[in-house]
Structure 1
Amino acid sequence: MDSNIERRSTNGGSPREASPAAEDVDPESPFLRRNSSSGGRRRRAVGEASFNLRSHRPSFRQEMGHAAAETYLVTGLTLTLLRYLGIGYRWIVQLLALGCYALLLMPGFIQVGYYYFFSKHVHRSIIYGEQPRNRLDLYLPINSSAPKPVVAFVTGGAWIIGYKAWGSLLGKRLAERDVIVACIDYRNFPQGTMSDMIKDASQGISFVCNNIARYGGDPNRIHLMGQSAGAHIAACTLLDQAMKESKGENTSWSVTQIKTYFGLSGPYNLLDLVDHFHKRGLYRRIFLGIMEGEQSLQRYSPELTLQDQSVQLAISCLPQIILFHGTGDYSIPSISSESFANVLKSVGAQVKLVLYEGKTHTDLFLQDPLRGGRDELLEEIIAVIHAGDDVALASDATAPEARRLVPEWQLKLAREISPF
């Protein structure tokens, strides 16, 4: 077995770090350089954070107005999407299964939703760009005594139903372990196509790199993570940025600011997955519309892009890459991550693949965290984030286990009927 591939049967992993500040920050400000002179500014920013947080929190009326605007936007997008879908047997079955799945997990969703809407440590819909979906949510740890490591997260949703709030469970869990999480929203199809999603993700990452110190984050410890379609968008964004930098283009953020890319259950070779997605209900016509035509599938396939000789300089810019996938994933087969890892290794990138035996597409991201106790994936991620920080690792070793949010029988039944 390749030394860079780890297979996990059911459990095993490791440990943990995040804080606050001003809401209205210019997303185009020059990104923070890694030099000693900025250290004082960062420390002052952390000290100012708790004062700025309360003074910039929106009122209840503003919150309700924003919620109404978001509901109107999502409803309009749904109606437009239905016109694209038509009345198809497969997507109707998937929709019914999704409704039952969500109902079974509702006890957990309600608790996480309460945290999302009412916790003073969650800052929702911070503007990072000019488009309607250019918003991100920040999840801040209770402890704000020192600059915290940061995870910029791009959520999944088959490129059509992604929304920043889908990352609230991950944000909650990581914030409890002293890590700041920024969940980046982006335009879904048909509001936007793949190039728009990459542009939005890049702007969101730029905001995090440039401004996270004002919220108590450490600009020298930023990690990028994506799940499912979000893993694909984040990988495309990272590679696109590396290619720009290798050509000497001026950019608002740098790949060197990203310490790790975590890819969870992602698709990295779209040419191999078109027929698979069609059978799963994401019809070829819609998928090609998302990806801007069949001629663009190679362009938006990170695995294929890396094999092009013209991007060799960009490869040296990439951070360490860690791919996670369940072998029981039938939405995006684990061979997707395995093949991507092999290509990354062949071109000299630093890569590690972790496979979880029998885990499905939703086990790693939803059922396991809702189960409480020791979450293997979370521990893997925290161990990487806190590597080299003896204080944080010691704290992780004694961290209490997460509380169960959903009864086991509901989790098992939800797993059986999951449309994912």
Structure 2
Amino acid sequence: MVNEENDKSTVSILPRLASCPPTSAAMSHQIRRRGIEKTKSAPPPRRLCRQQSLSRDIGHAAAETYLLTHLTFHLLSYLGIGYRWITRLLGLGLYAMLLMPGFLQVAYCYFFSEQVRRSIVYGDQPRNRLDLYLPIEINAPKPVVIFVTGGAWIIGSDRMGMTSSISCDCLLVLQYKAWGSLLGLQLAERDIIVACLDYRNFPQGTISDMVQDVSQGVSFVCNNIAEYGGDPDRIYLMGQSAGAHILSCVLVEQAVKESRGESVSWSVSQINAYFGLSGGYNLSSLVDHFHNRGLYRSIFLSVMEGEDSLPKFSPEIVIQDSGSTNAASKLPHIVLFHGTADRSIPLDSSKTFVDVLRDAGAKAELIVYDGKSHTDLFLQDPLRGGKEDLFEFLVAFIHANDEEALQKDAMAPPRRRLVPELLLKLAREISPF
């Protein structure tokens, strides 16, 4: 049973990352509900509510674990025996163990912080769920970041290292959308709401299913975030690795639809900016690279619905198509981030996409981080604590027109280290990414 000591330990284990008092929006919602109830029975005790919520989370996790295991065996029938993915699998397991001290602390906050609204349903598919990370106080509408995690488009995978579900069962507590917990909790500290979307992966679905799920999730947030204290006019999209690719497909597809006058459930005009972290935007040029990295051609083409579909799901190619000429003008400000030491997706992927976007008339820029790998910017650097360039850039960009928020950001203390430097360095050395 969760008690008050558990609440306090959230702060002691991970200071300033996530605190537990309910938001004012949540309190107001509870008051309104009590006001319209016909009976005057007292609400269930807080401990009981949280215990029931945790029980639901555990049940949902168990169901997903069963599904994950089933799909993993299905996936193995595609993989067969290959030394590339097996060696990367072993490397991923060791990599995860080295970073486990940080993962466990973030997982604790993910499950026990009242700032996290877990598994909100946004569609009719089993994985059409999202997590919301809310600031402690919501006294005015807050900016919103919709974040889509990576994973090589494959079920239970972590970046280009193939299936984490096979390599380390303890990572199941942070699978799928929960990989965005670290980012979500940290941005929530700066008064930014974060929505982390889950979506179908291969072999549960192919690329068109992923794009459909993410677009539906974006639509849900755009149309419902005001109920949670978010500002529907200040929404930002952010994706990492495969998530950056999927989200860019969604954004470009939506811009094309609007340029043709088609009916849409959400508008590109609602998006203030798109942040793409270590993404690939021209699939045709990456097939051989992925094959050499262990994501074999046969599997990759199965994920992408065949070689003929690669141009359709390559935003770089779509934006150059004559039928999409007007789409570029509808795109929001696009900012791509990439490390020079990224072995999973080469830096040229972001460079070329930015050039294409600019030539088409879109506002785009590329920020290059010297010596950073595929996961440094997203995992190792945040786990290291202190102040990091990517995080500070995001916060400054989102708060650019809010002087009060900028002043508060300037006074924010450095974040606490979650993993010893030695473990971070060892993890980087053996990283399969």
- TM-score tier, shorter chain, comes to 0.7 to 0.9
Kindly report the root-mean-square deviation, in angstroms, between the aligned alpha carbons of the 2 structures. 2.1
Q: How does 1:12-411 map to 2 (within 5 A)?
A: 48-49=28-29, 51=31, 59-160=53-154, 161=156, 163-411=176-424
8 Å Cα contact 2:340-2:373 kept in structure 1 = yes
Partner of 1:31: none
How far, CA to CA, are the matches of 1:47 and 1:213 in structure 2?
Answer: 15
- Residue 21 and residue 129 in structure 1: after superposition, are their counterparts in 2 closer, same or farther (change >3 A)? farther
- Per-residue displacement from partner, 1:192-247 (whole Å, max 9, x unpaired)? 00000000000100110011011111111000000000000000000111111111
How far, CA to CA, are the matches of 2:26 and 2:262 in structure 1?
Answer: 32
8 Å Cα contact 1:21-1:214 kept in structure 2 = no
How far, CA to CA, are the matches of 1:394 and 1:400 in structure 2?
Answer: 12
How far, CA to CA, are the matches of 2:245 and 2:110 in structure 1?
Answer: 25
More relative contact order, 1 or 2 (CA 8 Å, 6+ apart): 1
Percent identity reads 66
Query: Normalised by the size of structure 1, how large is the TM-score?
Result: 0.87
How far, CA to CA, are the matches of 2:318 and 2:21 in structure 1?
Answer: 38
Larger proportion of helix: 2
Query: By how many angstroms is 1:20 displaced?
Result: 11
- Per-residue displacement from partner, 1:130-181 (whole Å, max 9, x unpaired)? 0111000111111211111000001000000351011111111111111110
- Per-residue displacement from partner, 1:11-49 (whole Å, max 9, x unpaired)? xxxxxxxx9999xxxxxxxxxxxxxxxxxxxxx978734
Query: By how many angstroms is 1:63 displaced?
Result: 2.4
8 Å Cα contact 2:243-2:279 kept in structure 1 = yes
8 Å Cα contact 1:226-1:234 kept in structure 2 = yes
- Per-residue displacement from partner, 1:62-102 (whole Å, max 9, x unpaired)? 22221211111111121111111112111110110000000
The count of residues paired between Structure 1 and Structure 2 equals 381
- The answer for unaligned runs of 5 or more in structure 1 is 1-18, 23-43
- Per-residue displacement from partner, 1:250-299 (whole Å, max 9, x unpaired)? 11111111100000000001111100000000000000001000001111
How far, CA to CA, are the matches of 1:49 and 1:236 in structure 2?
Answer: 36
